[in-house]
Amino acid sequence: MSDILLSAQNVSKSYAMGKRSLEVLRRISLSVARGDFLALRGASGAGKSTLLHLFGGLDSPNSGEIHFAGRNLSQLSEQDVAILRNTKVGFIFQSYHLLPELDALENVCLPARMLRKPAHIAEKRGRELLARVGLGARMDHKPYELSGGEQQRVAIARALMNEPELILADEPTGNLDSHTGNEIVDLLVSLRAEKNTTLIIATHDAAVAARAPKVIQLVDGQIQ
């Protein structure tokens, strides 16, 4: 089992909606090996984002267990889960989630600064990453000065800042035109191959899902 990076064991998740309970995930069991490239495909509301959030320690299941590198996330303290998120997981969101008051380089360096890495070391890696994603000339630009595709490239560089073992990309092409979206997927695939990083992409786009060697279909919170 040493090659298993991530696993969900009989995981269910629901949310209170007033007097009602909305069941989003239903008894999900899934294992992801180190170096896997997996696509989670499904319609809006199928549970893709929720499963990514559980995998990355952003949320907790109502029942079942999530294990990361053999560690049961529910048995870790909030501080330990936060450290795991920052050091082991890189998140890429559909809406980029860049801080508008910071320029591209400052946004990319945030995960390293949260670990209190020396500023010059963080900045050096940030510049290398931005150059790698094709933004070497745009480092001092604020998010509003960048196109959607450029903002997503900044978000990818930020996700890679602390050399994570796992990259979770939630609809990374959802706000982009098809040409730019293809470029973003090409970049993710290339970067993932360089380090053999585990990559999970949640998408409703069949063309994006087809890029992954493994595709999991979610329907109404269950694996089909």
Share of the chain above pLDDT 70, in %: 99
Helix/strand/coil (H/E/C) assignment for every residue in the chain: CCCEEEEEEEEEEEEEECCEEEEEEEEEEEEEECCCEEEEECCCCCCHHHHHHHHCCCCCCCEEEEEECCEEHHHCCHHHHHHHHHHHEEEEECCCCCCCCCCHHHHHHHHHHHCCCCHHHHHHHHHHHHHHCCCCCCCCCCHHHCCHHHHHHHHHHHHCCCCCCEEEEECCCCCCCHHHHHHHHHHHHHHHHHHCCEEEEEECCHHHHCCCCEEEEEECCEEC
The answer to whether the predicted template modeling score (pTM) of the entire model surpasses 0.85 is: yes
Domains of the chain in start order, with CATH, are: 4-99+163-223 (3.40.50.300)
Summarize pLDDT for 149-174 with one digit per residue, the tens. Answer: 999 999 999 999 999 999 999 999 98
DSSP lists the bridge partners of residue 71 as 68
Summarize pLDDT for 22-71 with one digit per residue, the tens. Answer: 899 999 999 999 999 999 998 888 899 999 999 999 999 999 999 999 99
Average per-residue pLDDT for the chain: 93
Q: What is the pLDDT of residue 46?
A: 86
Residue 209: is its pLDDT beyond 60? yes
User: pLDDT class for 2, splitting at 50, 70, 90?
Assistant: low
Alpha carbons 114 and 28: distance in angstroms, whole number:
32
Residue 1: is its pLDDT beyond 50? no
